[in-house]
Amino acid sequence: MKEDNILPYEGEAVLLDDSGSDFDWPAVTRTLIETMPWQVEMARIFGREMPVPRMTAWFGDAAYAYSGVCHQPAPFPAIIQRLRERAEVLSGASFNSVLLNLYRHGRDSVGWHSDNEAGLGDRPTIASLSLGGARRFQFRHRKTKQTITLELRMGHWLVMAGKTQHFWLHQVPKTAAPVAARVNLTFRYMMSSRLS
Ligand SMILES: O=C(O)CCC(=O)C(=O)O
């Protein structure tokens, strides 16, 4: 993975272009938008309960807490199972859970954060698939503030590994440009549940 590393230090991130694979990505995108149990989650931001600016859905073998929101175990639908298998082939890692994000328009976003929940472990491998409209994705190093900007397009897999979540934040910023709806799936491996 090292030779394709997007990150200059203290992390590993690889961008794989899977747009030419056997998947009909526009059809997969439509199916996910139409059939996933999308919800607007509430999260505690600066001490206030606020709707997050995107829709989310969750499937996994174990319960999971994300931004203070508890997700109960939920079996993978067939289409997500196919994508999980693809994620595992491309990354060489195994995944038992997936968080889906639906960015309905350019005002939907996810702010600076890292995927560093305790159940993910110290050096999680996370495979993140982009579908639908292209959006800007940025990494920012916690200490040096170095920022790396990518454009994530339909069929791109961003695989993050090693100490990435420890040293780098990431975000999908809002945009004023007209953009098509975007679906993102982040496959993760939860080592244990912190929920009962
Ligand atoms: O939409 C993306 O590409 C990133 C999503 C993300 O950062 C997350 O779900 O934690």
Is the pLDDT at 9 greater than 50, yes or no?
Answer: yes
Please report, for the chain, the start and end positions of each structural domain, with discontinuous segments joined by +: 2-45+57-188
pLDDT digits (tens, 9 = 90+) for 92-103: 999 999 999 999
Percent of the chain exceeding pLDDT 70 equals 93
Homologous superfamily of domain range 2-45+57-188:
Alpha-ketoglutarate-dependent dioxygenase AlkB-like (2.60.120.590)
pLDDT digits (tens, 9 = 90+) for 55-111: 999 999 877 766 666 777 899 999 999 999 999 999 999 999 999 999 999 999 999
pTM: 0.93
184 close to ligand 1 (CB < 6 Angstrom): yes
Span from the CA of 11 to the centroid of ligand 1 (angstroms): 17
Q: Whose CA is nearest to atom 10 of ligand 1?
A: 115
Contacts 24+ apart (CB under 8 A), 85-89: 86/18, 86/21, 86/23, 87/127, 87/129, 87/157, 87/187, 88/127, 88/187
Is the pLDDT at 120 greater than 60, yes or no?
Answer: yes
Please report the pLDDT score of residue 2 as a whole number: 47
Per-residue CA distances from 77 to 30, 59, 61, 114, 128 (Å) = 15, 8, 12, 27, 18
User: Are the C-beta atoms of residues 119 and 194 closer than 8 Å to each other?
Assistant: yes
Q: Whose CA is nearest to atom 2 of ligand 1?
A: 184
Q: pLDDT class for 117, splitting at 50, 70, 90?
A: confident
pLDDT digits (tens, 9 = 90+) for 10-51: 999 999 999 999 999 999 999 999 999 999 988 887 889 999
156 close to ligand 1 (CB < 6 Angstrom): no
Span from the CA of 20 to the centroid of ligand 1 (angstroms): 23
